[in-house]
Amino acid sequence: MNYRHAYHAGNFADVLKHAVLALVVEHLKRKPAPFRIVDTHAGSGLYALDSQEAAKTAEWEGGIGRLLGPGAAPLPAAVAALLSPYLAAVRAENDGPALRLYPGSPLIARRLMRADDTLVVNELHPEEHARLKAAVGRDRRVKVLELDGWLALKAQLPPKERRGLVLIDPPFEQEHELERMAEGLAEGLRRFATGVYVAWYPIKDPKPVARFHRAVAAVAGPKLLRAEVMLRRPVNLERLNGCGLIVANPPHTLQSDLAVLLPEIVRRVGDGGQGRFQLGSIDAADTTSKADIPNNRSATPRRRNRSSA
C-alpha cells in the first residue's frame, strides 16, 4: 500500500473507519467527564480530492462519493441518522454540494470533540507532519507529535482523563505490520485497560488476517468487536479486497449501530454486487458472525459460527 494517504483519502476504507470513529466519539460524549483521543498514525489531516494524487486513483468516488457525491442516492433514514456526525464533519470542510476536500481522522475527531476534551495526533513522516501541524496545531485542545506510531502509543497511555479512544491506523508498508498491531493492542490494553481501541487493517489475503484475529483475541480478552467490509471476494490476493476494524472495549451500542450501517455501505461500495460484510465478536478460535449482501439486493444477515484451528 502507498503510505501517502492522499492517494486513498475518502475511499471505502475511510468511510468505514471514520464512521466508526464518529460513533465512538458520540458515545463518549454521553457522559460529561472529559476524554482523550490518541491518533497514532494521523496522516496530514486534510486532503484535496482534486489533487494529482487523489485524481490518479479516484478512490474517493467509490467511497465518500457514494454517500455524498452529486449522484448519490438518499440514505435510508436510520442510516442517515447514524452517519450524521461523520457526514456533517465532511460537509463542514466543503462549500456547497461539491466534494473538494476530505478530512482525515484528526479533523473529524477535532470537530466532534468538546471544549474540555483532548486530541493527541501523531505523524512521523516529515511532510505529512508539517501539514498536520498546520491543519490542527493552533487548537489548544490538540497536541501534535512526530514519533514512531508504536512509540506514541506507549508514551500517551494511560491518559490522565482515564477515558478515551485510541485510533491505530498504520500504513502497512512494512512486513509483519499485523503482528505489530497485535502487540501494540496488547501493550495498550496493559497500560489503559478501559480505553476504546479502534484498529484498522487491510484485507488482501484473508489467511494472515485470521491469524491476526486469533493473536489479538489471545491477548485482548473477550471484549472485541470485528467489523469488515469486502469489496469483492478475495480471488486476487494481491489486490486490496476489503478492510476491517478491531474494536476493543466497544461501546455497547456499536454492534447494533453497525448492523444497520454495514448492509447499506456494502450495497454502495461493493464491486459489481460482490460487496459483503462481517460483524461480530471474535475469540481465540476466530468465531464470527457473517453476513453476505449479494448483487446489491436487500438481505437479512445470516449468522454463522465458524471455528478454525
Q: What are the catalytic residues?
A: 169
Residue pair 210/230 in contact (Cβ under 8 Å)? The answer is no
Show the cell assigned to 98.
461539491
Q: Which candidate, 161, 151, 139, 129, places its Cα nearest to that of 45?
A: 129
Residue of 202, 275, 237, 205 lying closest to 1 (CA atoms): 202
CB burial of residue 10 (10 Å; 0-12, 13-18, 19+): buried
Question: Could you give the C-alpha distances from 71 to 134, 295, 303, in angstroms and in order?
Answer: 33, 20, 33
Length of the chain counted residue by residue: 309
Q: What is the CA angle 191-198-261, rounded to 5?
A: 155
Q: Please state, in angstroms and rounded to a whole number, the distance separating the CA atoms of residues 119 and 207.
A: 35
The CA distance from 25 to 165, in Å, is: 8
Supply the DSSP symbol for 5.
G
CA distance 235 to 221: 32
Cell of 251: 461501546
